[in-house]
A and B are shown apart, each in its own frame.
Chain A
Amino acid sequence: AQSVAQPEDQVNVAEGNPLTVKCTYSVSGNPYLFWYVQYPNRGLQFLLKYITGDNLVKGSYGFEAEFNKSQTSFHLKKPSALVSDSALYFCAVRANYGGATNKLIFGTGTLLAVQP
């Protein structure tokens, strides 16, 4: 069965410092991995994805994520945090077999708080 773990309910970081939001996954076969961000009273916005190829993927708003197959991780990173990055972040996984019907499984979410 597919699963995603986000071990931190909340991450606090000072503006200008690097940030990391952790994600580990479990899936049979090779994964498709995604990060989404949700601002208050809004829907989810797609940030980035790993499908295949380069383990370091770059996405919107300066975010990037590194796929580590041996550790089954896909941590979200940004070199310099902004106060406007404060939001709820979700990691999601989908198996890459079984056709288009495979479901997207979400983690529990990590609240990122960036202090000025």
Chain B
Amino acid sequence: SAVISQKPSRDICQRGTSLTIQCQVDSQVTMMFWYRQQPGQSLTLIATANQGSEATYESGFVIDKFPISRPNLTFSTLTVSNMSPEDSSIYLCSARGQGLEAFFGQGTRLTVV
């Protein structure tokens, strides 16, 4: 199994600012993903982070708002740009290697005030 370290674990941010979340995997993985989750609710996929190329975004999510980087096979970042209170949520990093199951980081709890 892969161990995923995600930071920060939580943050309180002012509206209009940006926050970058980092995700580090302890082994090389094929796929990395970013999800959003309201507390106690299901997960919504934001995008697939592609190594060396632009991320693939799901419907309703755009690169200008959620730029993603993946410079290598073990690291990715998600930036939440120009934040508003509606962006308050839990953001989860996920990775999948040669096995078929995905593993998740501990999440970043973001509050925008």
Contacts and interface: CB of A to CB of B under 8 A. Distances in A.
A32 B109 contact: no
A14 interface: no
Contacts of B109: 41
Contacts of A100: 30-31, 96
B63 interface: no
Interface residues of A, number: 23
Given A43-B92, A43-B105, A88 B40 contact: yes
B102 A107 contact: no
Given A46-B1, A100-B30, A106 B43 contact: yes
Nearest to B50: A101
A43 B104 contact: yes
State the majority secondary structure of interface residues on B: strand
B40 A49 contact: no
Given A100-B30, A100-B31, A43 B106 contact: yes
Contacts of B56: 101
Interface string B67-111: 000000000000000000000000010101000111111110100
Contacts of B96: 100
Interface string B20-54: 00000000001101000000111101001000000
B102 A46 contact: yes
Contact of B102 (A42, A51, A104, A111): A104
Interface of A: 32, 34, 36, 41-46, 49, 51, 88, 90, 94, 100-101, 103-104, 106-109, 111
